[in-house]
Structure formats: structure tokens, C-alpha cells
Amino acid sequence: MVAAFPIVKLAALAFRQVAKPIANSFKTRAKSSPFFRHYVCMPPAQLYHWLEVNVKMKLLGLGKPNLVQKLNETAAIELGAELLGETIIFLAAAATLTAEYVRQTRNSNAQAIVLEERWTSAEKRLEELEFLVDKQRAEITELTRLVYKSDSKKQSPPANGTGDGKPKTGLFGRPVV
């Protein structure tokens, strides 16, 4: 069987390759646009920094910090832009994996349906053949019975014993016993 050119896989690979330049473009825009800097980059960066400091302090056994110093604006914008870029790349990979999974599932389901139809067709044909065999067996039995009945009529002598159907008579036309 000849495999089709995997255009879907090629498109997925192209999509993932294009995701990195797109992410870099978003990072550049995020750094230059005031809206992106203040509403898209900085809040996730500050949250990430707060979580990172808390987790590190707990892992090191130093307890919970009372106050986590916020990142300065330049560092927050840089970290936020990196987080945005990585999120875009991750989402592109996740979308590609999800699309491939859905495609594979759809193909698998289609193959299962075709296989089920083939089995159903084979079972139906087998039932038809079994019915035909039973019918022919009954016909053969009936024909065999008719042949034996016909043979038994030919082989049994007639009741008068002459074989020609006329009563057996003696010298003067009297029936012989």
C-alpha cells in the first residue's frame, strides 16, 4: 500500500517552525508598546517572580517570605516578554499535538468503522450460505427419499407374482394359486 504524502505533518512542522519568529516578533512589540508592557508583560512577570521567590524560599527551608520585592520595570518587561514568547511557542506545540491526536483518532475511528462493516458483511454472507446449505440439504434429503421410493416400486414384485400385472392362470384359464 502506498502511503500518502504526509502534508498534515509537514504543515504541523512548518507551524512550529514559524511559531518561534512569531514569538520573537511579539516579544519585540511587547517591549515597545506601552499597552503590552503594562498589561501583558509586567503582571505575569511580577506573578512569576513572586511564585519563584516563594517556592525557592520553601525549598531551601527558609520559610515563607514576608514581603517579596517587585521587579523593576525593565526586568519585568524583559521577563514578561520572555514568558509571552515561551507561552506562544508552547501553545503552538500544544495545538500541533492536539491536532495530530484528533487526526489520528479520526483515522482510527474510520478504520474501525470500515473493519466493522467488513465483519458485518462477512457474517451476513456466512448466514446466507448456512441457510442455503440447510435448504440444499433438505432438498437432497427429499430427492433421496423420492429415489428410494421409486427404486422400491421397481424392485418389489407385484401382488399376483407375474410381474406383468395380469393374474397367473393355469391350463384352462383358471387362476393358479
Q: Which residue has the higher pLDDT, 63 or 97?
A: 97
- Helix (H/G/I), strand (E/B), else coil: 175: strand
DSSP states of 13-38: HHHHHHHHHHHHHHHHHHHH-HHIII
Residue 51 has which C-alpha cell? 511564585
pLDDT (tens digit per residue) in 101-152: 898 899 999 999 999 999 999 999 999 999 999 999 999 999 999 998 888 8
Helix, strand, or coil here: 169?
Answer: strand
**Could you tell me which of 94, 99, 77, 76 has the C-alpha nearest to residue 33?**
77
Regarding pTM above 0.75, the answer is no
